[in-house]
Structure 1
Amino acid sequence: MADVAEKAGVSRALVSIVFRNQPGASEETRQRVLRVADEIGYQPDSAARLLARGRSRTLGVMFTVHQTFQADLVEGIYAEAERLGDEVLLSATAPGRGEAKAVEALLSHRCEAVILLGTHADAAALDVLGKRTVTVSVGRRVPHAHVDSVHTAEGKGVRQAMEYLVELGHRRIVHIDGGRGPGSAERRRAYRAAMRRHGLDSEIRVIPGDHTEQSGIETGRLLLAERENGASLPTAVLAGNDRCAMGLLMALARAGVEVPRDLSVIGYDDSHLSHLMPIGLTTKDAMLMAEHAVRFAVERLEDPERAPREAVLDPKLVVRGTSGPVRAVQG
């Protein structure tokens, strides 16, 4: 600003008035200052201005690069934050860069609040973080921590998927577990409960896995190896998420297994990845989850004493091309 003032032949205070669009400068002076700023490439430092007022208006988002549904969430967070006049800063977790490091990076850049996408941290650690700064957990319920949370009614989504499969005649339905992934425990419990509710206790099978394509590929190889040894394929598989479902589809396709003729596959998320191939799945609305997360963060910044809140969104079944009626003969 001092450089602009010197070249424009005015005081630094007058330059400040022009950039803050406040009264006190003639139109001629205003245009001269703006022209000089443009010539020397000066841009007002909005972050410094906000910090001077004690606010950064920046929301930090911790995410995992390879989780496609989280990428969809980030898009929604940007849109809602911009609508409310806030900036967004991203920090990714990666091998060798855990959640704690990703969050500290956000706080060191003066983020006023942190939005955690799919956090694996325990409730005690999240409670400490929530008392240190405004924190929102997306994709996971954290009932005993001082944080707001936004998640889907996981059990309801699984029940919808299972009801649909049973109505199509499926009985040998396998579930690929999501491991420590967000919502996995709820989905696993809902799968077991649905199988018992339909009298299919003896058919319950949970295969260990996680929320990656590799998990789906390995499950496909396992099922195909069992078939080679004389066992029958299940009639349907409920995968832990879309990425896992995609990996399973890849393994089955390589072996010549036709989906859904030979086996139905259902994923979970409705990420943009699922639209590249015809996966039938239950849906989480990324835009709606993002809107709730940003709103919770901003509203807690305005009222720090507010009690922790929880938004539970209803899923819905989206039927695409990888699920169909059970065949009379499987093998």
Structure 2
Amino acid sequence: MDEGDSARRGNGTHKRPRLEDVAARVGVSTASVSLVLRGVPGPSERTRERVLRAAADLGYQVDRTASMLASRRTRLLGVMVDIHSPFHAELVEQLHTAAEDVGYDLVLSTLTRTRDEHTAVETLLAFRSEALILLGPTAPADTLAALDRKSPVIAVGRRIADAGLDVVRTADDEGVGQIVDHLVDLGHREIVYVDGGRGVIATDRRRGYRTAMRRRGLEAGIRVLHGDNTEEGGEHAARRLIEGGDLPTAVVAFNDQCAIGVLAALARAGVAVPGQVSVVGYDDDTLSRLSCFNLTTVSQGAREQARHAVTAAVERLDQGRTEAREVVLTPRLVRRGTTAAPA
């Protein structure tokens, strides 16, 4: 049994190593050990290496709960995420990286078919989240404003007018406009839009389609089909097109999930994509990049949105910023294999 094992076992009691044990092993103060383990400047590089080696040998783990109670800070950012959204999953991954870079961690609370926004937010507050990063919230602006008075709120992905909130989003109407321009430049004139249902994000994207069609002289060809943000919604919309016998040359879907549903319905009906119908999604989520879909879409810049959202939270919490700020990023068309010139 080596020295580290002896310290860990402590006469068979399996006593958990303490900060004092690490300090005794190195021969420095507990304050110095704490500085090293928290990554705070001060101790020399040699001391830092010895402390980290001793902590590893002893199996010491930082008691995060005790640290939080002592400082009265949790350094936790609460994130509300839709469990069914691949794009939200990508945002969460980028949020983790951005938060870790500034010494924060995340608490996640999910939206499901049986778990609404109110429940998700209450869970985040119960875990003492210092700020709330809400991905695509649908609650009314005044509800979010009231919540912001309890804890700083950063709304990601949704336009919120005059609510006094921090917002990080892309210009959704401009993104759909880029899609229409891409299709028209390829030669398409019969371009159908599958809607995303109710909500501000869906409204902005629908408006972007209508505006771009008018701008390109195709107002008479505007055609919006009922849909939603799921594969099922895209399938149902595409089946209506197929059964009606009046296929357009291009279909623009509210998001990538909806577009994948459109692709599935067209494939089952033997309609070639992009040979007979071009299809475009929105979000550039992980599914859109798979070779089996290779979907033309619009990137919202998950990394940039995450970085701006975490920066906004830190400015509110650590720098005392009180005025609301909106960051609007420019979306980017990603050309892949589901669009081509019409036959």
Equivalent residue letter for 1:280: T
Does 2:109 match 1:91? yes
Of residues 72, 79, 85, the one that matches 1:67 is 85
Tell me: CA distance 1:259–1:18, structure 2 relative to 1, closer, same or farther (3 Å): same
Which structure 2 residues correspond to residues 1-331 of structure 1 after superposition, within 5 A? 4=17, 16-17=30-31, 19-21=33-35, 43-180=61-198, 183-227=201-245, 232-276=246-290, 277-327=293-343
Contact 1:181 1:210 (C-alpha < 8 Å) held by counterparts: no
Q: SS state of the match for residue 272, structure 2?
A: coil
**Normalization by structure 1: what TM-score?**
0.87
Shift of 1:110: 0.9
Distance 1:140 1:114 in 2: 15
Contact 2:315 2:321 (C-alpha < 8 Å) held by counterparts: no
Shift of 1:167: 1.5
Distance 1:310 1:179 in 2: 25
Contact 1:179 1:208 (C-alpha < 8 Å) held by counterparts: yes
Distance 1:294 1:305 in 2: 14
Q: SS state of the match for residue 287, structure 1?
A: helix
Distance 2:131 2:281 in 1: 32
Shift of 1:37: 9.3
Aligned residues: 316
Distance 2:169 2:55 in 1: 50
Distance 1:84 1:296 in 2: 12
Tell me: CA distance 1:36–1:202, structure 2 relative to 1, closer, same or farther (3 Å): closer
CA offsets, 1:46-105, max 9 Å, x none? 243133212111111100111011111001100111111111111101122111111111
Distance 1:302 1:197 in 2: 45
**Normalization by structure 2: what TM-score?**
0.84
Contact 1:63 1:116 (C-alpha < 8 Å) held by counterparts: yes
> Percentage identity across aligned positions?
45
Tell me: CA distance 1:17–1:305, structure 2 relative to 1, closer, same or farther (3 Å): closer
Tell me: CA distance 1:251–1:36, structure 2 relative to 1, closer, same or farther (3 Å): closer
Distance 2:54 2:204 in 1: 60
Shift of 1:180: 2.8
Equivalent residue letter for 1:97: R
Q: SS state of the match for residue 77, structure 2?
A: strand
Contact 1:120 1:180 (C-alpha < 8 Å) held by counterparts: no
Tell me: CA distance 1:169–1:16, structure 2 relative to 1, closer, same or farther (3 Å): same
Contact 1:118 1:181 (C-alpha < 8 Å) held by counterparts: no
Distance 1:36 1:283 in 2: 43
Shift of 1:194: 1.7
Equivalent residue letter for 2:303: M
Distance 2:210 2:146 in 1: 34
Equivalent residue letter for 1:243: Q
Unmatched tracts of structure 1, length 5 or more: none
CA offsets, 1:303-326, max 9 Å, x none? 444211111111111111111111
Distance 1:60 1:128 in 2: 17
Contact 2:83 2:110 (C-alpha < 8 Å) held by counterparts: yes
What is the RMSD computed on CA atoms of the aligned residues? 2.9
Tell me: CA distance 1:262–1:36, structure 2 relative to 1, closer, same or farther (3 Å): closer
Query: After TM superposition, what 4+ stretches of structure 1 lie above 3 angstroms from structure 2?
Result: 2-5, 14-19, 34-39
Contact 2:84 2:112 (C-alpha < 8 Å) held by counterparts: no
Distance 2:122 2:320 in 1: 21
Contact 2:16 2:60 (C-alpha < 8 Å) held by counterparts: no
Distance 2:169 2:236 in 1: 28
Q: SS state of the match for residue 282, structure 2?
A: strand
Moved more, 161-170 or 55-64: 161-170
Contact 1:210 1:240 (C-alpha < 8 Å) held by counterparts: yes
